[in-house]
Amino acid sequence: MPARQKAPKKDVGELTKRQARKRADGLRDDIEFHNYRYYVLDDPVISDAEYDELKSELQAIEERFPDLVTPDSPTQRVGGAPKEGFRTVEHESPMLSLDTVNDADAFRRFYENALRGTGKERITLVGEPKFDGLSVEFVYDNGKLSSASTRGDGTTGEDVTANVKTIGEVPLRLGAGREVSIPRHLVVRGEVYMERPAFEEFNRRQEEEGAKTFANPRNAAAGSLRQLDPSITARRPLSVYFWQVGPSSSRVPDSHWTSLEMLEELGFRTNARNERFENEDEAIEWYENMARDRDDLPYEIDGCVFKVNSVDDQNVLGTRAASPRWAIAWKFPAQRKTTKINEIEANVGRTGKLTPVALLEPVQIGGVEVSRVSLHNQDEVDRKDIRVGDTVLVERAGDVIPHVVQVVKDKRTGNEKKYHLPKKCPVCAGPVSRVEGEAASRCTNAACPAQLKEKLTHYGSRAALDIEGLGDKTAEALLERSLVEDVADLYELEPDDLIELPTFAEKSAQNLVEAIRETKETATLARLIYALGIPNVGKTVATDLTMRFGSLEELAGADREAIQQIEGLGPTVASSISEWFENARNRKLVKRLREHGLDPRAEERGTRLAGKTFVVTGSLASMSRDEAKEAIVRQGGEATGSVSGKTDYLVVGRNPGASKTSAAEKHGTTVIDEKEFLELLGRKS
């Protein structure tokens, strides 16, 4: 669609009132048109600066002729004066709720009932994400927003017109600047919500300002919309998706799908993932894809909604007391559940860090049993006021490690106990201290068996030197019999030493010793640096270090400044590394490792991918995602986590993230498969 022609601009001061009225109306149309391009089509045709220019011109006109201000003017999106309370609004037809199902069998029963009820052999369904926000009804008369109300009890809601006007995605006039026929009276329903990144940012800002933070985007959206002072709503990053045309509208298309098309045509933002299905199997497959992709979406959904497409069929099926028989919500397994904290214990990590861990009354969350959750550090315990005996809301979403979202304070009985990390290490009774400015408390005894155990298992972990058979139990047994005291001692182990241990036989003892010795050949410099377990040195930092330092010896001899010169490494990481190498015990360890033959060199840095930016999504057959990133960096490229206009290539493996592939499409990023990626790296596939 071509950009609209702009009318020649006149200086506001020169306009007669008549000209001003006409110009203002034209500008409102223009602005609404560009909103449509931006919010609905996601394809703006003018720059932000040009858009702002239109708005300021309109503002100037309205300032000069205040009586020309109309309620649908985009200048009225700022909020207006606070109110005493919300006026109530009666919905023209009840806002129903939905029956829910939790599995495919129940969903099939819904479909079969719909077939039976209509006497048909098949029925077209429309599937939509079930947005986790709050539903709002919007009424438009002659194409202009006249009122908006919350669902309330389904019959009567609260008037939130001034509040929703502040949301840019809510059209104030319909079809502006385009040839669209406007219904005389239109009732539209949709969901007001907050996008996840906007929510994180908003909560962070609230916290900085010492204001109330919210447990999830839904609560934040609800709290933001139901503000008596709409100018507060105006400052909250709210979004909206529209999902239904109300039956009392003067134009109701004969199918739900056509309604959605009509809404989009009129300028309402509908969801791009909405889809039509000719049978229940297609619908089930789509649901499963949505369940898999849900964590990749920038907004929260708690399931999918399926609606019978034909309005005639909907009418035949009718409604129950509060929910239609022609629609169903198929919920995803809950990602948040409440449970009780039975105990809090302190775990000692490989750097001596004490981590408070809550032992929970076990709960199933998203199909996995959760019985322990890290509380991270004392500050976190204090900030969330987590006590032993508390009922807490625990979340486990996608790849995210389970965590406590908040305490359910209403459930407190008064018997809950505050928790403080111990002053002595729970494993070796050594002193625990907290370094100024750091959140972590640490056991300062370098010979603490808990730390040694974690160091050994970390050294052998898959991302480090990948020593099969060096798990928790083996590490514990080795320490108990004093067979090792640090990772260098591993290279002195003989099969005979291991056979003594409870879980070893001749073959397994031989295998472990071989696996340990193999690392002399297989360890790359990045993996060895990571395996040493230097505080604040993860896989990425370890790889970055190999860009500058060719061997462990070179790194050990580097000063803080040299380390800090590496891009992306801050002063904390740099001091952490140099302090580690300043420690005599660690220096001796590195020397002994070298004597045992562990002295990998940094691979030469290539230039095949110089200046190119990559994103990897899904799993690759020939390497892990971390290895892929390492390979990119080693060839002079850059590996990032999300697709933007700057991304040159999206490497797509199995089960790619939907948001990444659609972002690549949007930005015109070159999409390549694993084979093409290996060719770029100069490797055989």
**Which lies closer to ligand IVH via its Cβ, residue 57 or residue 128?**
128
Q: What are phi and psi of 431, to 5 degrees?
A: -70, 140
Least separation in angstroms between residue 295's CB and ligand IVH is 18
**Which lies closer to ligand IVH via its Cβ, residue 136 or residue 650?**
136
Task: Count CB neighbours of 502 within 10 A.
Answer: 7
Residue 640 CA to residue 294 CA, distance in Å, equals 21
Task: List binders of ligand IVH among 89-128 (CB under 6 A).
Answer: 96-98, 128
Report if residue 150 touches ligand IVH, rule: CB under 6 A.
Answer: no
Report if residue 152 touches ligand IVH, rule: CB under 6 A.
Answer: no
**Which lies closer to ligand IVH via its Cβ, residue 138 or residue 243?**
243
Report if residue 244 touches ligand IVH, rule: CB under 6 A.
Answer: yes
Binding mask 455-474 for ligand IVH (x = CB under 6 A): --------------------
Least separation in angstroms between residue 190's CB and ligand IVH is 8
**Which lies closer to ligand IVH via its Cβ, residue 317 or residue 525?**
317
Selected binder of ligand IVH within 28, 34, 77, 151 (CB under 6 A): 151
Report if residue 252 touches ligand IVH, rule: CB under 6 A.
Answer: no
**Which lies closer to ligand IVH via its Cβ, residue 37 or residue 130?**
130
- The SS3 call for residue 218 is helix
Burial bucket for residue 409 (CB in 10 Å: 0-12, 13-18, 19+): exposed
Instruction: For residue 136, list its beta bridge partners.
Output: 150, 190
Report if residue 351 touches ligand IVH, rule: CB under 6 A.
Answer: no
331 is catalytic: no
> Which residue of the set 6, 130, 423, 424 is catalytic?
130
Least separation in angstroms between residue 318's CB and ligand IVH is 12
Residues 6+ apart with CB under 8 A from 591: none
Residue 400 to residues 45, 208, 593, Cα–Cα distance (Å): 38, 24, 35
Complete edge-to-edge strand list for the sheet that includes strand 638-640:
638-640, 613-617, 649-652, 670-673
Report if residue 293 touches ligand IVH, rule: CB under 6 A.
Answer: no
Report if residue 154 touches ligand IVH, rule: CB under 6 A.
Answer: no
Task: List binders of ligand IVH among 418-437 (CB under 6 A).
Answer: none
Helix (H) or strand (E) holding 342: strand 336-348
**Which lies closer to ligand IVH via its Cβ, residue 97 or residue 146?**
97
User: Of 558, 593, 415, 567, nearest to 488 (Cα)?
Assistant: 593
Least separation in angstroms between residue 323's CB and ligand IVH is 7
**Which lies closer to ligand IVH via its Cβ, residue 51 or residue 138?**
138
Selected binder of ligand IVH within 305, 346, 392, 407 (CB under 6 A): 305
Least separation in angstroms between residue 191's CB and ligand IVH is 5
Report if residue 239 touches ligand IVH, rule: CB under 6 A.
Answer: no
Q: Choose the binding region for ligand IVH from 129-137, 260-268, 351-359, 577-585 (rule: CB under 6 A).
A: 129-137
User: Of 575, 582, 581, 568, nearest to 435 (Cα)?
Assistant: 575
Least separation in angstroms between residue 174's CB and ligand IVH is 21
DSSP E strands in 631-674: the ranges are: 638-640, 649-652, 670-673
Report if residue 138 touches ligand IVH, rule: CB under 6 A.
Answer: no
Least separation in angstroms between residue 543's CB and ligand IVH is 43
Count of residues engaged in binding ligand IVH, rule: CB under 6 A: 15
Degrees to nearest 5, angle at CA 514 with 511 and 520: 150
Least separation in angstroms between residue 137's CB and ligand IVH is 10
Relative to beta strand 327-331, strand 100-101 is parallel
Q: Report the residue number whose CB is nearest to ligand IVH.
A: 135
| Residues 435/336, Cβ–Cβ less than 8 Å | no
Report if residue 617 touches ligand IVH, rule: CB under 6 A.
Answer: no
Least separation in angstroms between residue 136's CB and ligand IVH is 9
**Which lies closer to ligand IVH via its Cβ, residue 149 or residue 244?**
244
Q: Which amino acid is at 554?
A: E
Helix (H) or strand (E) holding 541: helix 539-548
Least separation in angstroms between residue 319's CB and ligand IVH is 8
Report if residue 221 touches ligand IVH, rule: CB under 6 A.
Answer: no
User: Of 382, 550, 358, 352, nearest to 445 (Cα)?
Assistant: 352
Report if residue 135 touches ligand IVH, rule: CB under 6 A.
Answer: yes
Q: Choose the binding region for ligand IVH from 21-29, 74-82, 324-332, 626-634 (rule: CB under 6 A).
A: 324-332
Residue 158 CA to residue 466 CA, distance in Å, equals 60
Report if residue 37 touches ligand IVH, rule: CB under 6 A.
Answer: no
Burial bucket for residue 239 (CB in 10 Å: 0-12, 13-18, 19+): buried
Q: Token pair of 658, please? A: 């939907």
DSSP E strands in 319-434: the ranges are: 327-331, 336-348, 353-365, 368-374, 391-395, 403-407, 432-434
Report if residue 483 touches ligand IVH, rule: CB under 6 A.
Answer: no
Residue 323 CA to residue 98 CA, distance in Å, equals 5
| Residues 396/370, Cβ–Cβ less than 8 Å | yes
Report if residue 187 touches ligand IVH, rule: CB under 6 A.
Answer: no
* DSSP 8-state symbol, 40: I
Residue 144 CA to residue 270 CA, distance in Å, equals 19
**Which lies closer to ligand IVH via its Cβ, residue 243 or residue 419?**
243
User: Of 647, 653, 654, 651, nearest to 672 (Cα)?
Assistant: 651
Residue 504 CA to residue 46 CA, distance in Å, equals 71
Selected binder of ligand IVH within 51, 111, 131, 580 (CB under 6 A): 131
Q: Would you name the residues annotated as active-site residues?
A: 130
Site residues (CB under 6 A) for ligand IVH?
Answer: 96-98, 128, 130-131, 135, 151, 191, 243-244, 305, 324, 327, 329
